[in-house]
Structure 1
Amino acid sequence: MQNKNFDVIIIGGSYAGLSAGMALGRSLRNVLMINDNKPCNRQTPHSHNFITHDGKTPKEIGELAKKDVEKYNTIHFYEGTALKAIKKENGFEVETVSGDKFGAKKIILASGVKDVMPDIPGFAECWGISVIHCPYCHGYEVKNEITGILANGEMAYEFSKLVFNLTKNLTLFTNGKSALTTGQSDKFAQNNISINEDEIERIEHEKGNLKTIVFKNGASVPLKALYAKIPFQQNFDASENLGCELTEQGFIKVDFMHKTTVAGVFACGDNVTMMRSVANATAQGNFAGAMVNKELSEEEF
């Protein structure tokens, strides 16, 4: 790649990054998109709750999106991983794992997050298929089925309200002693939601389709689907690299214009919100791209 300097570098080329790229390409901005092609939903067989694309595979949606963005000749693609970014006198410098360095006036972090799998055999193989994170993305497909929730405490209580709307055949698995309050436990009992405190040994499945949860005490429970809230890590450490402030939950902190706490750095997509969906990432990317173009336009006028 001959050009080493760009108006904007987008770190991440999935839905948020591509959407930001389209907004900037249509504004004639010279953009480099750095993408490692490892989206967090790559194992998910179908994506839902995104109008015009409902039921398509995540890969198919991504390929269609990239084909649209490729029409704009000021957008350039780099396949690889961004290693670090530093603020320079006139902008930023981004270095990749391969040692390539690129400069830009602005940066958009659309780098997503990496889910941290619990040490439960079978969990990772089912993640995104029958062990799911979002009732809006996957809940309709398993409505009224034998369903579980793997969570504890306040998170389990709040999450159960959403899932209970989709199925009444519901069990909460706390994987150890319940941290629910007495009032919360009473509410579960009123709604006939069972609470299982047994520690999980493994998940039995067939090609990612959950069959049974097996516990360390030898007991087992058949299930069709299991909702789970698990920890995550930022794919690109904006805090270490650029000094961007993170929220208490570990997301990159942004304002309503998707500006981070570092001037010239914007962020959008899964790395800034717990509302993880293709539709939300796409919308955020579109808005972030427009805000970056607005800032560039004001500086150049």
Structure 2
Amino acid sequence: MKSSLVFGLFLVVICWIHPVISKDALLETVTKHGQLSVNGIHLVDKDGEKVQLKGMGLFWSIWMPYFYNKTTVDGIKNLCHSNVVRPMIAVDTQSGGYLTDPDAENALVDAVIEAAIADDIYVLIDWQDFEAENHLDASIEFFDRLSKKYGSYPNIIYETYNEPITKDWSAVIKPYHEAVIAAIRANDPDNVIILGTPNYSTGLDLAVADPITNQSNIMYSLHFYAGTQQEPFREIARGAIKKGLPVFVTEYGTVNADASPPVNKEEMDLWYDLLEEYGLSYVNFAISDKDEGASALIPGTTPEHVCEEEYLTESGKIAVEHNKA
């Protein structure tokens, strides 16, 4: 009798505390965590508690603008169990982009930002460029406008350079970041800024050797695709984190780096183990209905069906499973 009573009380306690300790990203909202900041290697919330963001990235704005709306963001939050969405603002492509039509790109990113604010989730604003050092004036213009308009919202996270190709961190990439940080901080002193690292945001070792100093609330981006970046890249990540570099995985894929199949479940599980070991935040690529391995959605999916289970690909199902874990 006594043991049954104790067990019953144990179940009551477990049920009562579950919403508090749950790692389902759907429940880890902006209302709950508020203003984010960086403490050591950790992303922390308004109370100084460690927080983990898990969510989905959109595809390049220039090619899939039809997903840049609140219907899509609603699905990403509620059905993909996400507390962060990442719009990818195309900068310079053969099809156009910010350098060609800034008004159109600004309208797309604003729509996603405002949807994320309405849905009580964070929004990671990605400057989708591979040679951003050649577009510094445009970068400053873009982030100056955003930080003036939205910098007072705790939902906002800036990603100032998606994937630098160059490996020259100290002479090229770092000065670029410092200039864009200054533009953002003139308007927004608090929200987190994430900095792309060399060699398509895999070169954390180069950044940790010469980090940006005299700045608060900055992190460094890591990208990986499980079919291509494997144990040597995990070792680089571990080494940088152990040396004190705060890392945010702003883009990952379950497949090859060229977005082709197959899903590499074994390597992906090893990556998830590392992400959980250090409590890293991560965003999957991508909410896309393109017929390729990295797409989370089957071809022909519309915003109304984003993240519905029957419209998820193998990759999409894996990402959602871990957003819920």
TM-score normalised to the size of structure 1? 0.30
Structure in which a larger fraction of residues adopt helix: 2
* Higher RCO (CA-CA < 8 Å; seq separation 6+): 1
TM-score normalised to the size of structure 2? 0.28
Structure number with greater Rg is 1
